[in-house]
Structure 1
């Protein structure tokens, strides 16, 4: 579920908040050009980040994951209320113990005319965890609880032992280590898309790098891309549900900045674009302006190898000396919310049917008096009267706005503190952080799957994303145990342990949360049915109409 807000004629309206059905993309009784089987033009989309690839196992960025769902069909997608909608899974059976799923694959074809079979899923999922693939999203198989995935991904077991088997062309059997309640919901992720082994191997290194070396089984098929500027897909007439699709195609245009994108949207050259910064105020009275709360989180990594930041009082002072509400409402203004937590709202429900956030605590709240006291105590323990810390951050509007505001607050409220600002493009900043060349790193993360572990495992000692080198043996024990069959089998106990992990992490000030991110958009009101469909802010392009 996503909270969605639309600004119309200067008023802020709070929507019915069902899974981010945007007001500009709501249902309509007007059939227009969107009647079944008719065509309604090309959807024009502005993106700030270029496409990496359309190989489902070679990407881990929002743009590529988003567009993959337009050209591939997995077993399921999600509807506007986040309920599962069958795609390639015509039906399924679940064993009494919940540990075996048997899927029947519907009749469908790849864009080259080859039948889509259960073998395509078996090959793809085993390719996902094959170390030779070096898939950045291989841990999703572990999160799904697929048999032997944890041993393959984290302990080097043979990838062919993954618990997925094509019984025949139409039957896919998946074995789990336990009854994982969110297993089917994870299957909407691009990591679990099918791939045709014969075609992938014949394409070799070119697979996923150009349209003529890639085939698809989704509603659209790539027609062109140059990665850095534009990429496009056209209607796939071999698609099993082509008769219900209305668009002629999709065109993504990479814009250099949100101001350029806004001007293109205003002139009719784009139907959708994200905006930020001063543009949010400029378009606040436009009926095209929409904001939504994402499940992405902004936070700082403190570098525990920096002597000053190894002191918990110093970290506590930094975490509690700036107003997160001001960051959300005055700096970003895009629907973000102050985050006194690490696992965000609307991510996942527990076995009790309640959201993780609704049954968790709050941490590191703004408290200037306590922050100043912690700062004084920390400096005394260090034998210092002043500190200089290097703050690393990305070069986009949201990063710059937060970094500059929070740095100014820190220097104003914490006597003797100097912040050295270092701005870099995201890829370069990540490389710098991975080398430990920072004191504080402002970072944003979007979860790969609907479980608190999508955030909490980032700070485990075996995580490649633990830029700050946080270490806590009790925390590690919980994170490692949460992947095991024994703990997965007791869902309430596991859920409680993940709450404990968050409490340990933020009690240690292992990270410093700022806000749960929002997104501000300009959307053509004639576009209907384009909705957020999963936890990583993937947009739906199926059955969308325009005009």
Structure 2
């Protein structure tokens, strides 16, 4: 991306933020002393900490601190050395050789190139059932292996020796090195995994290679991370411990923060009905986030089998009212699925500024009613089938669901039911298609529009709406076939336009990252891909 490309959104996204403070007897100690941090960022039990199965931001927060991939990502989204201290890229961009540093697993085993080869092929193995397997389709024969059309030893990843990993790609992929920092591409210890299939389910069996160890996992209660003294960069890790209590309600989290029991928190500890006032008072810090909030329509479930009906429900949403009167966190109404702040690497400006308006901020009630009537006529329905909105248990999601429920009643004269589920159960419902309309949020796996668009290809493991469009698939394939940014961006813009015409997903707003924090924690970095990095944070005296 050109250094000339800037905007207030981009600047906000790369801000390094200082937060958190020690609690209890550790408060006020100098940076060289034992330091303990308590963060309110986890709502409920993380669904899965196995890199091959991790797919949500809560599990991902923990994974990024206990595991490490070939690369890390800096605050601007660019790759930096991780377990690989350097890499070489061939002239055609299709072959990458990673050179690994000396690193250890928490059980004392060396981290080897073979661990990465095993981990990546395990993700691609259809028996693993990884929803993120498609992120390794960039490898030569990766997709073919996943679909049973090639053997594992034909996949383009090979451990030449313990310190050298050769990767061969199907096509040049400009963001592949950045992608190696994502949790799906993190290594696992082959010996440990093959000995115990449930190795990642408990702290006492978990083996990791990151900056912190999984010291305690009290299910449905809390996770405790402790500094990994064998981490290759341990000298720069100042925190001795990170406490992550599971906080079911934001009001409870807020009370804990005010009582000094929590030192830092995101929306997990910020009551939804207080968000606007707390931002105005300066108690909550808010920066733009490279993420989108939306409702997905299951295109295999009536009435959303009909495109016009999907469009009608999307047009009946008042996005401006939702961000101003409900969310109140500084969010901006969505103009498309790819959020504000994502760069168009060819136009050298914000992605949203490089395409037409797909969605209007206010409801278009009359046009929505007309489309609904046309859709029902096409289906031969005199009465619309019952509609239910699914959302995961959270006060903020509940308020948005209630607001949209009212909008659909007012603008479409449709009565809608609401159904909430605990996070792990909710994810399972979405993946099995047990929904009609479901709330959905997406943060980037790497900084490129592709991460918001390839998830809706026909065979993607993240395609919960069961959407399928051959023209869309072809455009995504075209964008993945070249490193020419002009060709890539043009194809991706055309793909997003089709997505907004077919409307399997109704974008609502671009996120903001909202936090409450104490004053004496330094060097915690909020990164452009939406994750928070505590690895090199330290505490100063209050």
TM-score by length of 2: 0.87
- Aligned partner of 1:237 in structure 2 is 229
- Aligned partner of 1:423 in structure 2 is 420
Conserved in 1, the CA contact under 8 Å of 2:52 and 2:123? yes
Taking the aligned partners of 1:58 and 1:375, their CA distance within structure 2 comes to: 39
Query: CA separation of 1:57/1:34 partners in 2, compared to 1, >3 Å: closer, same or farther?
Result: farther
SS in 2 for 1:417: coil
Query: CA separation of 1:380/1:328 partners in 2, compared to 1, >3 Å: closer, same or farther?
Result: same
Q: Which runs of 5 or more structure 1 residues have no equivalent in the other structure?
A: 2-12, 27-31
Are 1:102 and 2:97 matched, yes or no? Answer: yes
Of 244, 249, 252 in structure 2, the residue corresponding to residue 252 of structure 1 is 244
Query: CA separation of 1:470/1:98 partners in 2, compared to 1, >3 Å: closer, same or farther?
Result: closer
Conserved in 1, the CA contact under 8 Å of 2:46 and 2:424? no
Taking the aligned partners of 1:246 and 1:123, their CA distance within structure 2 comes to: 32
Of 141, 145, 152 in structure 2, the residue corresponding to residue 159 of structure 1 is 152
Query: CA separation of 1:459/1:124 partners in 2, compared to 1, >3 Å: closer, same or farther?
Result: closer
Are 1:174 and 2:167 matched, yes or no? Answer: yes
SS in 2 for 1:234: strand
Query: CA separation of 1:89/1:236 partners in 2, compared to 1, >3 Å: closer, same or farther?
Result: same
For residues 126-275 of structure 1, the aligned pairs below 5 Å read: 126-142=121-137, 145-202=138-195, 204-273=196-265, 274=267, 275=270
After TM superposition, give the deviation of residue 376 of structure 1 in Å: 5.2
**How many residues are aligned here?**
521
Conserved in 2, the CA contact under 8 Å of 1:52 and 1:227? no
After TM superposition, give the deviation of residue 417 of structure 1 in Å: 2.6
Taking the aligned partners of 2:446 and 2:77, their CA distance within structure 1 comes to: 13
- Aligned partner of 2:330 in structure 1 is 335
After TM superposition, give the deviation of residue 79 of structure 1 in Å: 2.2
Conserved in 2, the CA contact under 8 Å of 1:124 and 1:193? yes
Taking the aligned partners of 1:259 and 1:134, their CA distance within structure 2 comes to: 37
Taking the aligned partners of 2:433 and 2:108, their CA distance within structure 1 comes to: 50
Query: CA separation of 1:18/1:63 partners in 2, compared to 1, >3 Å: closer, same or farther?
Result: closer
Of 102, 112, 115 in structure 1, the residue corresponding to residue 110 of structure 2 is 115
Taking the aligned partners of 1:53 and 1:413, their CA distance within structure 2 comes to: 40
Of 448, 451, 471 in structure 1, the residue corresponding to residue 448 of structure 2 is 451
Query: CA separation of 1:317/1:191 partners in 2, compared to 1, >3 Å: closer, same or farther?
Result: closer
After TM superposition, give the deviation of residue 377 of structure 1 in Å: 4.8
- Aligned partner of 1:543 in structure 2 is 536
TM-score by length of 1: 0.86
- Aligned partner of 1:404 in structure 2 is 402
Are 1:512 and 2:509 matched, yes or no? Answer: no
Query: CA separation of 1:200/1:360 partners in 2, compared to 1, >3 Å: closer, same or farther?
Result: same
Residues 82-91 or 322-331, more deviating: 82-91
Taking the aligned partners of 2:369 and 2:198, their CA distance within structure 1 comes to: 57
Conserved in 2, the CA contact under 8 Å of 1:276 and 1:332? no
Query: CA separation of 1:201/1:257 partners in 2, compared to 1, >3 Å: closer, same or farther?
Result: same
Q: Deviations over 1:248-296 (max 9, x none)?
A: 1111100121111111111111112222411324533555412233333
Of 521, 528, 539 in structure 2, the residue corresponding to residue 527 of structure 1 is 521
Taking the aligned partners of 1:20 and 1:90, their CA distance within structure 2 comes to: 26
- Aligned partner of 1:360 in structure 2 is 355
Query: CA separation of 1:124/1:465 partners in 2, compared to 1, >3 Å: closer, same or farther?
Result: closer
After TM superposition, give the deviation of residue 18 of structure 1 in Å: 4.7
After TM superposition, give the deviation of residue 465 of structure 1 in Å: 4.3
Of 470, 474, 479 in structure 2, the residue corresponding to residue 473 of structure 1 is 470
After TM superposition, give the deviation of residue 15 of structure 1 in Å: 10
Taking the aligned partners of 1:118 and 1:442, their CA distance within structure 2 comes to: 39
Taking the aligned partners of 1:432 and 1:207, their CA distance within structure 2 comes to: 25
- Aligned partner of 2:4 in structure 1 is none
Q: Deviations over 1:305-355 (max 9, x none)?
A: 456544444333322233211111211112322112011223454355444
After TM superposition, give the deviation of residue 385 of structure 1 in Å: 6.9
Query: CA separation of 1:128/1:470 partners in 2, compared to 1, >3 Å: closer, same or farther?
Result: closer
Q: Which runs of 5 or more structure 2 residues have no equivalent in the other structure?
A: 2-7, 22-27
SS in 1 for 2:12: coil
Query: CA separation of 1:33/1:122 partners in 2, compared to 1, >3 Å: closer, same or farther?
Result: farther
For residues 48-67 of structure 1, the aligned pairs below 5 Å read: 48-67=43-62
Conserved in 1, the CA contact under 8 Å of 2:316 and 2:407? yes
Conserved in 1, the CA contact under 8 Å of 2:317 and 2:408? yes
Are 1:499 and 2:496 matched, yes or no? Answer: no
Taking the aligned partners of 2:86 and 2:458, their CA distance within structure 1 comes to: 40
Are 1:78 and 2:73 matched, yes or no? Answer: yes
- Aligned partner of 1:87 in structure 2 is 82
SS in 2 for 1:328: helix
- Aligned partner of 1:41 in structure 2 is 35
